[in-house]
A and B are shown apart, each in its own frame.
Chain A
Amino acid sequence: MNTLATNPGFTIPGSEPLFDGRAWTAIAAFLIATLVVVPVLFLVVPASSSFHVSAYFVTLVGKIMCYCAVAVAMNLIWGYTGILSLGHGVFFALGGYAFGMYLMRMIGREGQYQSLLPDFMVFLDWKAYPWYWSFTDHFWVAMVLVVLAPGLLAFVFGFFAFRSRIKGVYFSIITQALTFAFMLLFFRNDTGFGGNNGFTDFKRILGYRIADPHTRAALFALTAAYLMACLVLSRALIRSKTGRVLTAIRDSENRLMFSGYNPLWYKLFVWTLSAVLCGIAGALYVPQVGIINPGEMSAANSIEIAVWVAVGGRGTLLGPLVGASLVNGAKSYFTQSFPEYWLFFLGLLFILVTLFLPKGVVGWFREKRKAAA
């Protein structure tokens, strides 16, 4: 409070409020819509009513909100810190697989072979769970794994990469290699994660049937709340001094080092945080979509994440949300109407955004408003 006692004649860094009144209202409106309105329209309003919201819509929006959270995480590392990761798909998938292990064990004897083991293990003629499946039938163990698996991988990988001062395009390339290597690993049947089919046919989560509309509505609401939590966390981080150090890494890492900061720990911190946020989004994604397979770790998937952030606007708070929603909205339309043209469209979109909207949709709007003012 002593900062208020003196009048220094300038704005004290970090003293502005977390959000202004309008932003808080928008967050509240979003939460009311996703936590109350949509579940009521989905569960209570009869299917015959034109106000009824379909299960398809709930799943689609739930999925897109997971992607939005991934984009927020990506924006932390790329938009604010200037480190382009083309391997964020691996963290998303690891979170998904970690929670998928729990979901697989909750199938119990309801699988094709009525075994306690998942079908793919029976198929491989395995007699028992491998050691790394230990305790995954406990929900909280699975939750811990959701954080630890992507977090540890990111920490170890990041430590060696950042300590060796690997930067720019070289870093991007090795993150591509990382996700590709993990995809190959998970494709192997012997790895014990279901090979190229991955995990699917989930039945229950915490005793509730996964296909039950109430479970779907709960997962939907949880995802919405998580997305808002990511947004608030991201804003709080960027507003802190650590946030200012991160953008300083992006703009002039040399100056920062000669000012007495060791960029290694700052990069490692935001890199690991970003990976964990992705992993949790992956864990929310899997029960809603009902499948996780190594395709999530494909190189193209990780590049798509970068495209979302580029389209929305790097280094802006709302950009990742806008970008992930726009691109995925377009994707679900295209893959239904013109499935063969989707990748062409995605490529074209990336080129157009790079050429004409270097600051993304949000950056473009911001500049227009500034010009008008």
Chain B
Amino acid sequence: MNTPGDDLRSGETSGLGHMMQAGVDTSHGPILYLEDITVSFDGFRALNKLTLTVETGELRCIIGPNGAGKTTMMDVITGKTRPDEGTVFFGQTIDLTRFTESEIAHAGIGRKFQKPTVFENHTVVENLELAMKTDKRVRRSLRARLSSEEIGRIGATLDLIKLSGEAGRLAGVLSHGQKQWLEIGMLLMQEPKLLLLDEPAAGMTDHETARTAELFKELAGSHTLVVVEHDMDFIASLASTVTVLHEGSVLAEGTLDVVKSDERVIEVYLGR
């Protein structure tokens, strides 16, 4: 299936292209490389020498008890939080600790928040329009008009997230599950290479959850996905590598069956 994210044109310059001219270089495997990341808040170590590697095209699930550092890890990758120590590399060349949130988004990292975050006073179509990959500077936005190609991309994404019938409605009146999908659709409009998804299936019906898992498996390969989840059935249906975080570092990594049988994992997380 042709998703809107597939037609990444490598030669296109983004709005902040002068800052990241080269684009992400994944010629040597990993797309995301975190090494010895430490983040402290008032003496509390949210991340403690966290080291994590995600391969290009991989679908990776992250699990862990509350306070394990999952959301902080996403904050570090997306530039919201600066690590006290350690390095974060996007591809071979881009040191993410040196860029702002919007620059990182431009470089090709999309983020879905734990609580679905859409522009509630904009219509579904306007939400997708705002997220769409384009020159996002003020000067350009003043005279921006959608081309027919861009309208086509919005239409394709609407079909993909099953919101064609709600296109003209305000995002604020959508159901929780629909908002989740709209936010996923917005990420896809950004044409990211790496998607960070914080509890994407929360509040979805079983049917919607199954459909989301299907969608993620379709996206993997052409995109890299990092999914933070609590729903074990959902993780099982993704059939991916699972990383278990505990107290700010990696406790175990492997297939779901392997980590499920790990004694330390059972002790801190699954057994409770």
Contacts and interface: CB of A to CB of B under 8 A. Distances in A.
Given A10-B158, A10-B167, A259 B131 contact: yes
B78 A248 contact: no
A5 B148 contact: yes
B152 A8 contact: yes
Nearest to B14: A260
In this complex, which of A259, A260, A265 has the most chain B Cβ atoms within 10 angstroms of its Cβ? A260
A12 B155 CA distance: 11
Contacts of B129: 13, 241, 244
B137 interface: yes
A2 B149 CA distance: 10
**6 A-B pairs closest in CB distance:** A10-B167, A260-B105, A257-B101, A241-B144, A242-B141, A241-B141
A256 interface: yes
B176 interface: no
A218 to B, nearest CB: 32
B217 to A, nearest CB: 24
Contact of B138 (A3, A248, A260, A265): A265
Nearest to B155: A8
9 contacts: A10-B154, A11-B167, A14-B144, A240-B144, A248-B122, A251-B119, A255-B113, A256-B119, A258-B113
Given A247-B121, A255-B113, A262-B100, A14 B145 contact: yes
A225 B144 CA distance: 28
Interface of B: 14-16, 78, 100-103, 105-106, 110-111, 113, 117-123, 125-126, 129-131, 133, 136-138, 141-148, 151-152, 154-155, 158, 164, 167-168, 186, 190
B133 to A, nearest CB: 7
A262 B155 contact: no
B118 A252 contact: yes
B96 to A, nearest CB: 13
B102 A9 contact: no
B133 A260 contact: yes
Nearest to A11: B168
Contacts of B141: 240-242, 245, 266
A254 interface: yes
B101 A9 contact: no
A134 interface: no
A49 to B, nearest CB: 49
A200 B134 CA distance: 52
Interface string A231-272: 000000100111011011001101111111111011001000
In this complex, which of B78, B126, B186, B190 has the most chain A Cβ atoms within 10 angstroms of its Cβ? B126
A260 B132 CA distance: 9
Contact of B130 (A6, A10, A256): A256
Given A8-B154, A241-B129, A257-B102, A3 B146 contact: yes
A254 B117 contact: yes
B138 A269 contact: yes
A2 B102 CA distance: 31
B158 A241 contact: no
A2 B130 contact: no
Contacts of A255: 113, 117-119, 186
Contacts of A247: 119, 121-122
Given A241-B141, A260-B133, A3 B119 contact: no
A261 B136 contact: yes
Contacts of B152: 6, 8
Contacts of B145: 3, 14
A265 B110 contact: no
A248 B143 contact: no
A11 B15 contact: no
A315 B264 CA distance: 54
Contacts of B16: 262
Given A5-B148, A259-B186, 17 more contacts: A3-B145, A9-B155, A10-B155, A10-B158, A10-B168, A13-B125, A241-B141, A242-B144, A244-B126, A244-B130, A252-B117, A257-B101, A257-B102, A258-B102, A258-B111, A261-B136, A266-B138
Contacts of B133: 260
A264 B102 CA distance: 10
Contacts of B167: 9-11
Contacts of A13: 123, 125-126, 129, 146
Contacts of A265: 137-138
Contacts of A3: 145-148, 151
A3 B122 CA distance: 20
B106 A254 contact: no
